[in-house]
Amino acid sequence: MHKIDKFLAKLDAERREKVLAILLRIQSENFENLDIKKLKGFTQIYRVRVGQCRIKFETVQSSINIINIEFKGDNTYKNS
């Protein structure tokens, strides 16, 4: 099982629905009204805040790759 799938499986239903809705918006490149920031030190890596969860993704040419989903913590943005 992929680590993103494991993370989603551990979430309560309400939070999982919110995260999945944001994932769909990211994949369809609908970034309007998202809490999105470009990560410092990286050219194409961004994060979206969904409550206490952070979704990291990168844009490569014309595609979007989800890197990780995790709770905000001291090490959230290290080793991206």
Q: Name the 3-class secondary structure at 65.
A: strand
Number of neighbouring beta carbons within 10 Å of residue 57: 20
Give 25's contacts (C-beta < 8 A, 6+ positions apart): 31, 34
pLDDT confidence bin for 72, thresholds 50/70/90: confident
Q: What is the pLDDT of residue 38?
A: 95
Q: How far apart are CA 39 and CA 46, in angstroms?
A: 5
Q: What is the pLDDT of residue 73?
A: 79
Whether the predicted pLDDT of 1 surpasses 60? no
H or E element that contains 35: none
pLDDT digits (tens, 9 = 90+) for 12-66: 999 999 999 999 999 999 999 999 999 999 989 999 999 999 999 999 988 999 9
* Angle, alpha carbons 69-32-44 (nearest 5°): 50
Whether the predicted pLDDT of 3 surpasses 80? yes
